[in-house]
């Protein structure tokens, strides 16, 4: 199981999920290149999972439908951030979360 990359905080993950899937674990998004983004983290089928479409790699070694399960989605997201782009692999994070995110954890006691 992959571990989270140092420097990726809980607030980063919460902001990412809010901006990628709106907290919907069954979210999908079809992209112009024919790939699909799946689940809470909107993990792309072109590089990270297999769905029978335009998959070129299967970096998480799973069927894309498994990304609707929380444990599989978290494991794959941790794998994605191990690559050089880190959390910047997600456009939603780059556009909306590259700033102070402390308000995402207000009242959580963490």
| E runs forming strands in the chain | 28-30, 36-38, 43-44
What is the rounded distance in angstroms from the CA atom of residue 67 to the CA atom of residue 61?
Answer: 11
**Which residues are the active-site residues?**
20, 37
Contact 42, 21 (CB under 8 A): yes
Tokens of 91: 């456009």
- Report how many helices (DSSP H) and strands (DSSP E) the chain contains, helices first: 3, 3
Tell me which residue of 85, 34, 33 sits closest to 59, measured CA to CA.
Answer: 85
């Amino acid at each position: 199981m992959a571990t989270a990359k140092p420097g990726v905080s809980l607030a980063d993950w919460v902001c990412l999920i809010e901006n990628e899937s709106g907290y919907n674990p069954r979210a999908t998004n079809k992209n112009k290149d024919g790939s699909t983004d799946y689940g809470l983290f909107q993990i792309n089928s072109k590089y990270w999972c297999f769905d029978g479409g335009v998959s070129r790699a299967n970096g998480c070694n799973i069927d894309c439908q498994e990304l609707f399960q929380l444990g599989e989605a978290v494991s794959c997201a941790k794998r994605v951030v191990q690559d050089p782009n880190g959390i910047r692999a997600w456009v939603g994070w780059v556009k909306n979360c590259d700033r102070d995110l402390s308000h995402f954890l207000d009242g959580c006691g963490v």
